[in-house]
Chains A and B, each alone.
Chain A
Amino acid sequence: MDPAAARALPESTLVLAAQSRDRIAFEELVRRRERWLRALLRRVCGHPQQADDLAQDTFLRAWQSIANLREPAAFAGWLRRLAVHRFIDARRLRRGDFDAPATLDTLASDEPSPSRTAQAQFDLDRALAQLSDPERLCVVLNLGEGLSHGEIEQATGIPLGTVKSHILRGTAKMRRAAGDAHE
């Protein structure tokens, strides 16, 4: 497939082409989805470099298993699920326990991120860094990605009740962080 032609094609057509091992089509899919996926992983991870490594790994896994994707239109959700599982696996591998609380030092980054906008009157990255990994994951998927509690349960494998409590607790922590920042 010609790269210029690939740019004009809809995503589902590119997915079908990538399923027949077309690398140009897959590269175009990466070009269209990398900003979103890296932004999501940066919020979830806190470390831009780790997030980029995870994003690259996620795309590689996607290439290896794209033939298993039954519904081409569901590519974005499928990719997000892959990324979430990669994040959970990486955290378990590094710390041995995904549920362990995060430390501010390892998560807060000095590098400016796109999430710092004029409207955000407090440091979103710093507030997210106060949360544990599962809390941050659930809050980002709920508020950042607009997923329902049930969808988060499906994407992460965390039980529904735990998802709800992570979101409640996480949002409350961030609200407190915002309050502290204003004082």
Chain B
Amino acid sequence: MNEFERLLTQGMADEPPSPDEDFVRGVARAVAAEERARIVRLAIITCIALCLAVAFGFGLAASWKAVAAVWSSPPMPQPFVACGVAVLSAILLLPLMRTRE
């Protein structure tokens, strides 16, 4: 490294001596707002996923009822099937709950 480059390196090495608390507070506020937004996003996605799962479960239960009306002895009791379908739907919808990091 020659003299000129050393001069440039020295010039670029300077930093303010103490932290800028206003800047730190600004970043802290932005981070807090981002966290709140993230929680709201998660809550909305969870709510939508649950609603979809319940609606899907009810839909299937209704269609099962129609099947049961035709077929007098279904292989499984209806509520178990409805719950099973709801849980399965929730599991399938779980990836939607992940927010982009």
Contacts and interface: CB of A to CB of B under 8 A. Distances in A.
Contacts of B13: 144
A143 B101 contact: no
14 contacts: A27-B28, A30-B23, A31-B21, A35-B15, A43-B12, A52-B23, A56-B23, A56-B30, A60-B27, A115-B12, A119-B7, A121-B7, A143-B8, A171-B5
State which size class the interface on B falls in.
20 to 34
B34 A120 contact: no
Interface residues of A, number: 40
A180 B88 CA distance: 74
Given A115-B11, A119-B11, A23 B32 contact: yes
Contact of B16 (A23, A35, A68): A35
Interface in B15-54: 15-16, 19-21, 23-24, 26-28, 30-32, 34-35
Contacts of B31: 23, 26-27, 59-60, 63
Given A59-B30, A119-B11, 13 more contacts: A23-B31, A27-B28, A31-B19, A34-B23, A36-B15, A38-B23, A63-B31, A115-B12, A115-B14, A117-B14, A124-B8, A144-B12, A144-B13
Contacts of A67: 101
Q: Is the interface of A mostly helix, strand, loop or mixed?
A: helix
A106 interface: no
- Listed from nearest, the 9 A-B pairs whose CB atoms lie closest are A144-B12, A120-B11, A114-B14, A124-B11, A35-B15, A59-B27, A39-B15, A143-B8, A30-B27
A58 to B, nearest CB: 10
B101 A64 contact: yes
A56 B10 CA distance: 26
Contact of A144 (B7, B9, B19, B101): B9
B16 A39 contact: yes
B71 interface: no
A140 interface: yes
A92 interface: no
A121 B17 CA distance: 22
A143 B27 contact: no
A120 B10 CA distance: 8
Interface in A18-48: 21, 23, 26-27, 30-32, 34-36, 38-39, 43
